[in-house]
């Protein structure tokens, strides 16, 4: 993912809270990822509230145990989605789960008081509200939610490695020679934190 596709934020490596984002390898990868994002969000919204809540808690934690310093879940600011509208919809779902409110296509839209926010999600919600129009649709009981979430998590994690390689390549070209080891150590620490989060969330999703 990049600044053009996902509102990427550029920080010094000491201030990064997420694995460094990287672009998918090809336009086909982008298309496949965007379709996966939509399928996951559709299944998440149409799943029973218990499954929706459990999946959200597995990925980003509960409102009470959520922290950017935690390695158990992904921070809320993680750039998990390539398409900004998908990220905004997921944030809206998380907010409803935090408030213990039901999640349905109609209630998600009606719960957006800001007309601009509602307009921004309208196209996505049209696809979500008619899940059978572009495929078989969600499985009963939200049985596919953990699997789709895991696939989405894996794609985020793989993009991160591409980003780390690109970031170190830039350091290799531009950084002072005596600074290279420090950059390598910082990026290694970054990767290890992302790996801990990826592994933890995967384990939690497998239990659903």
The per-residue DSSP string of 123-192 comes to HHHHHHH-GGGGSS-PPGGGTTHHHHHHHHHHHHHHHHHHHHHHHHHHHHHHS-GGGHHHHHHHHHHHHH
| Dist. CA 23–CA 131, nearest whole Å | 28
CATH code that applies to domain 26-206: 1.10.860.10
Cα 123 to Cα 88: distance, rounded to the nearest angstrom: 12
Token duo for residue 141: 């009981």
Looking at the chain, how many residues does it have? 208
pLDDT of residue 43: 96
The pTM for the full model equals 0.82
Mean pLDDT of 105-126: 86
| Confidence class for position 2, pLDDT limits 50, 70, 90 | very low
Point out the least confidently predicted range of 34-38, 46-50, 161-165.
Answer: 161-165
pLDDT band for 155, please (50, 70, 90 cuts). Answer: very high
d(CA 89, CA 95): 10
Question: Does pLDDT of 146 surpass 50?
Answer: yes
- Give 45-93 pLDDT, tens digit per residue: 999 999 999 999 999 999 998 988 889 999 998 999 999 999 999 999 9
Tokens of 44: 């998440």
- pLDDT of res. 27: 75
Distance of CA 13 to the CA centre of its chain: 20
Q: Is 12 helix (H, G, I), strand (E, B) or coil?
A: coil
Cα of 14 vs its chain's centroid, Å: 22
């Amino acid at each position: 993912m990049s600044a053009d596709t996902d509102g990427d934020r550029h920080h010094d490596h000491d201030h990064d809270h997420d694995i460094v984002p990287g672009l998918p390898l090809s336009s086909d990868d982008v298309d496949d990822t965007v379709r996966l994002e939509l399928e996951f969000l559709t299944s998440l919204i149409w799943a029973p509230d218990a499954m929706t809540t459990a999946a959200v808690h597995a990925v980003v934690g509960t409102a009470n145990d959520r922290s950017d310093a935690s390695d158990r879940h992904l921070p809320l600011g993680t750039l998990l989605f390539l398409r900004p509208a998908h990220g905004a919809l997921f944030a809206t779902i998380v907010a409803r789960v935090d408030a213990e409110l039901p999640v349905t296509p109609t209630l998600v839209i009606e719960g957006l008081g800001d007309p601009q926010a509602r307009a921004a999600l309208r196209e996505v919600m049209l696809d979500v509200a008619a899940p059978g129009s572009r495929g078989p649709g969600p499985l009963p009981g939200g049985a596919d939610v953990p699997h789709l979430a895991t696939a989405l998590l894996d794609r985020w994690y793989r993009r991160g490695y591409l980003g780390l390689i690109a970031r170190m390549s830039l350091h290799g070209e531009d950084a002072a020679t005596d600074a290279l080891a420090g950059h390598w150590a910082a990026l290694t620490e970054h990767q290890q934190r992302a790996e801990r989060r990826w592994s933890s969330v995967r384990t939690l999703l497998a239990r659903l």
